[in-house]
Structure 1
Amino acid sequence: MAEFVEGFETLASVWPAVSVFGGARVARDSETYRQAEVVARLLAESGFAVITGGGPGAMEAASRGARMGGGRTVGLNIKLPSEQRPNRYVETVVNFDYFFVRKVMFVKYACAFVGLPGGYGTLDEMFECLTLKQTRKMKNFPVILFGTNFWSGLVDWLENRCLEDGMISRKDMKLFTVTDSPEEVARIVSQSWRRRQRESEEEVEGKSPKI
């Protein structure tokens, strides 16, 4: 319970924000690292804070890019036996013992999700978001998989195995977008955010007493 309280109190002022997931093993001299920087920089320049797992690799790249774009950076650091430490580009750090609490914070305080290349942790986080969208627990939240070469095998498996076997529906394949364009990521997130703002304003107006 204490982790929930700390997370809620620390992240309450972080809005709007985008959760960016990605692997800790992404090398600093790789194209993936460079592209992650660009994606996060464009998001920051568009007015979004960037939330990551706070660690090395793609998480570091996204945090660095967000700082380059003048944006706020948040690291939701998980305590591991290997003692993962927050990268130096994270401004606000929240430490967690439990993965499930950490995932709540990733979802609660973001208006979109971007998946960079990564391993089991990244897949866990992305499928959490897709499940919440599929079950309509979340609406108007873009889920963007960045890096066609990396994600194409997974997309093929979803379509040729899960969809073919009836485990998911055709509309479930539309729950996410795959792209290689940092500019498209920023555009999708910005358009979705503006749409959510308009809908919120219309909802408030609809509930206002008529005089």
Structure 2
Amino acid sequence: MRIEIADAELLREHRDNGHDLRNVTLSTLDLTDPADDELLRTALDGALFLGCTLRPETQRRAHAAGALLFPIVPGLPYEVYRSRLYTCAELFDGFEPARPESYADTPDARIYQHALAQGARPDPLHALAERLHDHSISEALDDVLTGRPVAVMGGHALTRDSDRYRGAVELGVLLGKAGFTVLTGGGPGAMEAVPLGVRLGDRSGVDEVLAGLATAPRFASGSTVDAAEIGRWIAAGLAVDLPVGEKPRTIGIPTWFFGHEPPNPFCELHAKYFANSVREEGLLTVATGGIVYTPGSAGTVQEVFQDYTQNHYGSVGPAAPMVFLGHRFWTEEVPAASLVRKLARGRPAEQWVMVTDDAAEAVEFLVSYASVQ
């Protein structure tokens, strides 16, 4: 197992403890200062330098020792070798609520435009940079997840002034009270309503918050970005005063593949990817505490069967709960739950499939699973 170091102080501590740098990964460090360069005067066999700045003579010595050096990729609007997830403050840096069109100048919007410019088949340099970025995001996500996180899937089209949005907020309140770390796809609709509920902590302030959000209930869906409209939607969300705990309890996992839908302002952290396939599979895999499916469209149905495939074959561990919230929707309108139940018959996954209209019952089911793992 490689040791990964992305902080100069940790590197000094590692070396002070008498360890060399064989098979160690060092990421985004400027090691040109003589004192820092001295830390590299040790065995470097198999060391991996990701986006580090080294003295020329140190580069030659590292190459001679068999180390691999991945350089900084110039001209990109994002960090290739990240060691942390994104915050809303970082993604929306430069956004001015009084000028909603300023969303177009944020890192989130600029990175999306850069990705669009590469087309469906980016050249090898940009393809490699995006893959390395996404790998870094997965590593950073693993670093912050503890326990058995629960994911909530659902449609992006819920408007902030709808009854179903309120229902998703109340589901988030219950999940938060139960102590779960809650993951969503990180976008609008149900994906933002649930983390909002987690962070509110109770129902007492829901009416006031939803009244404020109703001033910007939606933004136009489609493949194009209306910066001003999205800016008004973001501004209404950022105006909500939410508590921040010591550890993040709400994590969004969005993608620039759907960059016309910005990340929501209620998740404390965002693991934002370029590759949607990596993002979707990753989200389903790390939700080891189970997944709640609220009504959605084709994307949510796809996630249902990706999730069930993992449970069916036990490819990522024991079968985890699949909770279908909305009995009529999931058994009549879009009968995915009925098919999952048939597929699960007689298998370990069978006992962990629930269809219900009761959010409290759904959360109790997830708690019961956590208690036996």
1:42 maps to which residue? 174
2:257 maps to which residue? 80
1:9 maps to which residue? 140
1:116 maps to which residue? 294
The one-letter amino acid of 2:272's match is N
1:155 maps to which residue? 335
Secondary structure of the residue aligned to 1:51 is strand
Distance, in Å, in 2 between the alignment partners of 1:33 and 1:185 is: 17
Deviation at residue 157 of structure 1 after TM alignment: 8.5
Distance, in Å, in 2 between the alignment partners of 1:74 and 1:156 is: 26
The one-letter amino acid of 2:254's match is N
Secondary structure of the residue aligned to 2:272 is strand
Deviation at residue 158 of structure 1 after TM alignment: 4.2
2:371 maps to which residue? 194
Distance, in Å, in 2 between the alignment partners of 1:104 and 1:74 is: 16
**Gapped regions of structure 2 (runs ≥ 5):** 1-130, 202-242
| TM-score (normalised: structure 2) | 0.47
Q: Which one of 173, 176, 181 corresponds to residue 358 of structure 2?
A: 181
Deviation at residue 115 of structure 1 after TM alignment: 0.6
The one-letter amino acid of 1:114's match is V
Is 1:55 aligned to residue 187 of structure 2?
Answer: yes
Query: If each structure's strand is expressed as a fraction of its own residues, which one has the higher value?
Result: 1
Same amino acid, percent of matched pairs: 28
Secondary structure of the residue aligned to 2:254 is strand
Asked if the contact 1:54/1:75 (under 8 Å) is kept, the reply is yes
1:31 maps to which residue? 163
Secondary structure of the residue aligned to 1:96 is coil
CA 1:54/1:104 → structure 2, altered by over 3 Å: closer, same or farther? Answer: same
CA 1:157/1:61 → structure 2, altered by over 3 Å: closer, same or farther? Answer: closer
Secondary structure of the residue aligned to 1:12 is helix
CA 1:127/1:35 → structure 2, altered by over 3 Å: closer, same or farther? Answer: same
Secondary structure of the residue aligned to 2:355 is strand
The one-letter amino acid of 2:329's match is F
**Gapped regions of structure 1 (runs ≥ 5):** 197-211
The higher-RCO structure (CA 8 Å, 6+ apart) is 1
Is 1:126 aligned to residue 304 of structure 2?
Answer: yes
The one-letter amino acid of 2:312's match is Q
Any runs of at least 4 consecutive aligned residues in structure 1 with deviations exceeding 6 A, and if so which? none
Superposed CA RMSD: 2.4
Asked if the contact 1:32/1:117 (under 8 Å) is kept, the reply is no
The one-letter amino acid of 2:250's match is T
Asked if the contact 2:187/2:252 (under 8 Å) is kept, the reply is yes
Deviation at residue 22 of structure 1 after TM alignment: 0.6
| TM-score (normalised: structure 1) | 0.80
Deviation at residue 156 of structure 1 after TM alignment: 7.7
Q: Which one of 295, 299, 320 corresponds to residue 141 of structure 1?
A: 320
Secondary structure of the residue aligned to 1:114 is strand
Distance, in Å, in 2 between the alignment partners of 1:51 and 1:81 is: 18
